[in-house]
Amino acid sequence: MRIFPLLTAAIVSLALFLLVFHRDRLLAFAAGDAPAESAAATGQTIDAPPPDQGGEQERKVSVLVQRSAAQLVDSTILARGRTEAARQVEVKSETSGLVVSEPLRRGAYVSAGEPLCVLDTGTRDAQLKEAQARLLEASSRTPEAQSRLIEAQAKLAEAEINARAASRLSQDGYASDSRVAATTAAIESARAGVRSADAGVSGALSGIRSAEAAVEAAEREMERLTLRAPFHGLLETDTAELGALLQPGSPCAIVIQLDPIKLVGFLAETDVDKVSVGALARARLASGREALGRVTFVSRSADPQTRTFRIEVTVANDGLTIRDGQTAELMIATAGKPAHLLPASALTLDDAGRLGVRTVSADNRAAFMPVTLQRDTIDGVWVEGLPETVDVIVVGQEFVIDGVALEVTFKNAPAGDGK
């Protein structure tokens, strides 16, 4: 039987017992202070303390303290997303024809209205001229129809005068009834002529409108032969090759707009109510570049798969250095809260496992205060839950507990100054 493992286990058990149940006596023994009961047991005499101290002098623990004042700090919400072109359009043909223009290569910058693809006119020019000729012909018929209408109206007026005269003569016995009937028939005939002439004028005006529509359609068809850039942007693809046959719906090129550019992210249900349109946002791209912009859109509808809400941040992209589809980390500012900037090493845990810091009370004793971590930066950590001004132990906090007397040295204090 091996005795050394048993002795080792016994020694470890004894050490744990002393550390757990007699920690104060063990610390006092390590400091060289003999407890009173130990002295009494050995028969030693304990010297009385000096009259001016009123009893045994309390031992103080030296600590380094930082005086901190609360600052209003904008809290941020992190979201991961990507860059996205502000606009992207695939320019397609509305008519058929052969491409007669030289192609533009991908990556070229185009202005709004710049021709991208030009199609062969074919017989469309002749069709336009024919429509214009028909419009002139229809326009020339209108004066003739209007003249006929005026002539018919004059005949109607003459027939009415003759009818009135015949009626009066018939009453006086100077005209026969047959003559009155003839003048009445003449009036009806004149009225029919007026209606016919009026229909002729309406027909001439309809012909003009029909011809004008044909001219407009022919001109619109001519305009469709030139496919233009809808906005300022970059060509994502080459334009259609020279000699290619385009049909209605055939693509000519893809144009994207990258200035400004959108940064798209997704927020959880717990964070979406904290973000509003117009909030300041900072983006960090995978390349390390940072960009600053504002929130321009917050979705009201969640993605059915991920239950997250889409947000969009618009930023300037001078020089088009930010590309479409890059990974981005968004930091969106929310309402500011008071917080303290402390070294991360000042954080500690109490016996209940709560995160907090050790502070110095008014009577120079240690006290634990729980905190909430707001943000971690290269300069330290921002924490909430402390008073507006507080003295925080930054060195030695792990060697004191609540109520322990402290010998305070303030950080960055002048030599010989305790504060």
Q: Are 379 and 371 in contact (CB under 8 A)?
A: no
Rounded distance between C-alpha atoms, residue 58 and residue 302, angstroms: 63
Rounded distance between C-alpha atoms, residue 88 and residue 169, angstroms: 87
Q: Are 328 and 376 in contact (CB under 8 A)?
A: no
SS3 for 112-131, per residue? CCCEEEEECCCCHHHHHHHH
Mean pLDDT (the chain, rounded): 83
| Total-model pTM | 0.54
Rounded distance between C-alpha atoms, residue 292 and residue 261, angstroms: 11
Paired sense of beta strands 309-315 and 251-267, if any: antiparallel
Here the tokens at position 325 are 């589809």
Whether residue 260 is preceded by a cis peptide bond, meaning omega within 30 degrees of 0, is: yes
Q: How confident is the model at residue 257 (pLDDT cuts 50, 70, 90)?
A: very high
Q: Is the pLDDT of residue 12 over 80?
A: no
Enumerate residues 6+ apart whose C-beta is below 8 A from 92. Answer: 249, 250, 251, 252
Q: How confident is the model at residue 177 (pLDDT cuts 50, 70, 90)?
A: low
Q: Which domains does the chain have, with CATH numbers?
A: 4-52 (no CATH), 62-72+338-410 (2.40.420.20), 91-119+226-252 (2.40.50), 124-223 (1.10.287.620), 254-335 (2.40.30.170)
Rounded distance between C-alpha atoms, residue 284 and residue 81, angstroms: 10
Q: How many CA atoms lie within 13 A of 101 on its CB side?
A: 20
Here the tokens at position 99 are 């491409």
Rounded distance between C-alpha atoms, residue 27 and residue 25, angstroms: 5
Taking residues 145-154, report their average pLDDT: 81
Rounded distance between C-alpha atoms, residue 61 and residue 58, angstroms: 10
Q: Are 394 and 64 in contact (CB under 8 A)?
A: yes
* Burial status of residue 315 (CB atoms within 10 A of its CB: 0-12, 13-18, 19 or more): buried
Instruction: Read off the pLDDT of residues 37-86 as tens digits, 9 standing for 90 and up.
Output: 444 444 444 444 444 444 456 788 899 999 999 988 777 788 888 999 99
